[in-house]
Structure 1
Amino acid sequence: MPEAIIHCFKPNKSGKARISYFPFLWMIHLDRLEAMAMLVSSVEEGSLSAAARKLRIPVATLTRKVNDLETAVGTKLLVRSTRKLQLTDAGTEYVASAKQILEQVDEQERRAAGEFTAPRGELVISTPVQVARLRVLKVIDQFLAQYPEIRVRLVQSDRNVDLIDAHVDIAIRIGRLRDSALVATRVGTLRVVTVGSKDLLERCGALRMPKDLRGYPCIVFDSPSLSPWCFRSPATQDIFTIEVVPRLLVSSPDAAVDAAIDGIGATRVLEHDVADAIDEGRLQFILQEFEVEPMPVHLVHLSRSMMPLKLRRFIDFAVPKLREELGNFGRIRAG
């Protein structure tokens, strides 16, 4: 077994906790690893009960494991209250090191399973819900057909999950990237578009300026990336916002598009959400000359000195296909 690093937690002479590092050539006791994982999960979920539900174990079992861990390391790691769970100073340091240990063990297991020598094992992919349905699932289906020894777990969420905390191998991100630690490959762009039905525009009047949206029937898709409604001045290129009072507030782009088709109001979504309705003539673009810059779409993953072959194969496979999927978006069509 290759030499690894274990982080040993011990109190020093002053009574404060410290982390020491030393090489080892033996397996960490499985019970200790299990308790570490339960502690980390409790911190991530915010409570012992939430972690127990996630891990599908009794709360009493998880509580006992955490208590045994505190006894083993000889210091208090958690401060429990009825409202929330807090780490002690020692617990904060211990959890950080426990995460490193669990990641090292996970990597060793993946190496042992051959993920660095053959494309196999579980690949965890995170993507926005609608992007998965419209663009990514068909690519994953084709990928799985080509690589029978790879399994995919698809995490669909409209929030940007932390790749390390969520144990995600690769994610699709829409919008400007903020985390410089991620390796990013651009696969396309998507416009943020305002649309309405012909019936709505005939009934309530045409929209010539963004300010015309004030007092106009609007359907608001409650999404951080699309709120507030931003526009760009064609003359100055300045970005400005328009406050709209929603006649209908929804939590999915599908609902916004369906309601817009029914003539409830104008709505604002990503271009690919409404592409079929536009092509079929059920909706039409409005205020195109005031659109902001299209939002970039990236595949992102953690920078690693060694990349599992399952991840490398997926990147090589998915990038050209996603670029093809998104190739018709990101620009105002002629005519």
Structure 2
Amino acid sequence: MDRLRAMAAFVAVTEAGSLSAAARALGEPLTNISRMLAQLEAHLGCALLHRSSRHLVITPAGSEYLETCRSVLESVAAAERRIAGQVDELSGDMAITAPVLFGRMFVVPLLARFLADYPRIDARLLLVDRVVEIAEEGIDIAVRIGELPDSALLATRVGSLRLVACAAPAYLERSGTPSMPSDLTRHDCVTFANLPGGTRWIFRSRRNGRKAVRVRSRLSVNTADAAVAAAIAGVGITRVLSYQAEEALKAGKLVPVLERFEDTAVPVHLVYGAARSSNARVRAFVKFAAGELRLLPETSSGKQARRKLSPS
């Protein structure tokens, strides 16, 4: 068995989602791909993939081995580039994921500048408002907003954002403006499922301390755009990251409330697998992005502000 070739086939199958798609991507007969996978599993003594007539599911052992395969293949490719005299110019593919709005506002222009500096690197950007399993989905680097759970992943903190509670002027005229977080129990609220806490909103400030309140969710949504739109329509008070409501706040379509209780820091990290930390492209992007992403809007009102984020 050509183990490197088998490793490459295994990686291709996980990224393509099927044996036939991997065979087309590699220009190999389907029987070759199937045979190499079987030989690799026999060599390891465990299943890497669960196969059915409709889809493939990577096993826990397969997920761990996938990172090893990518690292080994990248090391071999790097050695070949050095021998070929390309050590001074990074090249190859890189995959990044980020939340949709954050990605459009910050990662796309950042990535454009990075690619201009590294013309031999090609990138794939996946913008989704969910936590992506980076090993299973072939992602090199993920932008994560919020506290990170314990995991084997490595993370570089690039700063922090703020949460802002806000509502439409018409809603506040109709229902009154809360003066304390506890007042929110008497208000309609629009909750954003992708923010930590759900219907339990926690306010923190240096002067007023920590205030936790269980709000009434009149409407629950799964994207920040929907939460902001619902608040503008007068459904109730919402609480999102400041950049997500920035345009509506500047335009006066939303008004911030409870600002004196709100300087909650929400960390922003670049997350990547331990095996990817030795990848020269990943290291270059993390270093580049960590410097660039420290400049983000962190305003909790309609006033535009560009400032350094909290250092890691």
Q: Which amino acid aligns with 2:239?
A: R
Question: Which residue number corresponds to residue 105 of structure 1?
Answer: 73
Task: Tell me the amino acid that sits aligned with residue 38 of structure 2.
Answer: L
Equivalent pair of 2:63/2:135 in contact (CA under 8 Å):
no
1:116–1:263 distance in 2 versus 1, CA, 3 Å: farther
- Residue 239 of structure 2 aligns to a residue in which SS? strand
The residue type equivalent to 2:3 in the other structure is I
Q: 1:17 matched to which residue of 2?
A: none
TM-score by length of 2: 0.73
For residues 154-195 of structure 1, the C-alpha deviation after alignment (integer angstroms, 9 at most, x for no partner) is 122333334444443322221223346544333221112211
**Distance in 1, Cα, partners of 2:255 & 2:283:** 40
Structure-1 separation of matches of 2:275 and 2:56:
33
> 2:8–2:69: 8 Å Cα contact kept in structure 1?
no
The alpha-carbon deviation at position 148 of structure 1 amounts to 1.3
Instruction: Identify if the C-alpha distance between structure 1 residues 195 and 225 changes in structure 2 by more than 3 Å, giving closer, same or farther.
Output: same
1:243 Cα deviation from its structure 2 partner: 3.5
Whether the 8 Å CA contact 1:195–1:266 is kept in 2: the answer is: yes
SS at structure 1 position matched to 2:158: strand
Contact 2:134 2:140 in 1 (8 A): yes
Distance (whole Å) between structure 1 residues aligned to residue 102 and residue 278 of structure 2: 25
Q: Tell me the residue number matched to 1:259.
A: 230
Contact 2:160 2:268 in 1 (8 A): yes
Contact 1:210 1:242 in 2 (8 A): no
Q: Percent identity at matched positions?
A: 29
Q: Which stretches in structure 2 are left out of the alignment for 5+ residues? A: 25-29, 304-312
Residue 37 of structure 1, CA deviation:
4.3
Alpha-carbon distance in 2 for matches of 1:219, 1:159:
19
Cα displacement string for residues 57-106 of structure 1 (whole angstroms, at most 9, x for unaligned residues): 7xxx589927981798397847778999899xxx8767755663454134
Q: Does 1:276 align with 2:247?
A: yes
Change (3 A) 1:216 1:95: closer
- Supply the AA of the counterpart residue of 1:119: L
Q: Judging changes above 3 Å, is the alpha-carbon distance between structure 1 residues 82 and 51 closer, same or farther for their aligned structure 2 residues?
A: closer
Query: Which has the higher mean CA deviation after the structures are superposed, 284-293 or 143-152?
Result: 284-293
Whichever residue aligns with residue 198 of structure 2, its letter is S
Report the Cα offset of residue 34 of structure 1: 6.0
Read off the aligned partner of 1:262 and give its amino acid letter.
A
Task: Say whether the 8 Å CA contact 2:67–2:135 is kept in structure 1.
Answer: no
Q: Which residue of 2 aligns with 1:237?
A: 209
The structure with the largest alpha-carbon Rg is 1
How big is the alpha-carbon RMSD for the aligned residues of Structure 1 and Structure 2?
4.1
Paired residues of 2:185 and 2:213 also in contact (CA < 8 A): no
Q: How does 1:207-226 map to 2 (within 5 A)?
A: 207-226=178-197
The whole-number CA distance in structure 2 between the counterparts of 1:199 and 1:65 is 63
Question: Which of the numbers 86, 103, 107 marks the counterpart of 1:132?
Answer: 103
Q: Tell me: CA distance 1:209–1:225, structure 2 relative to 1, closer, same or farther (3 Å).
A: same
TM normalised by structure 1 equals 0.69
Alignment of 1:1-335 (within 5 A): 27-28=2-3, 30=5, 32-33=6-7, 36-37=10-11, 41=14, 51=18, 55=22, 65=34, 69=38, 73=42, 77=47, 96-97=64-65, 100-101=68-69, 103-113=71-81, 117-179=88-150, 181-232=152-203, 237-246=209-218, 248-291=219-262, 293-303=264-274, 307-324=278-295, 326=296, 328-329=297-298
Distance 2:260 2:251 in 1: 22
Cα deviation, residue 196, structure 1: 0.2
State whether residues 169 and 253 of structure 2, in contact with CA within 8 Å, keep that contact through their aligned partners in structure 1: yes
Deviation at 1:258, TM superposition (A): 1.8
Give 5+ residue unaligned stretches, structure 1: 1-7, 9-26
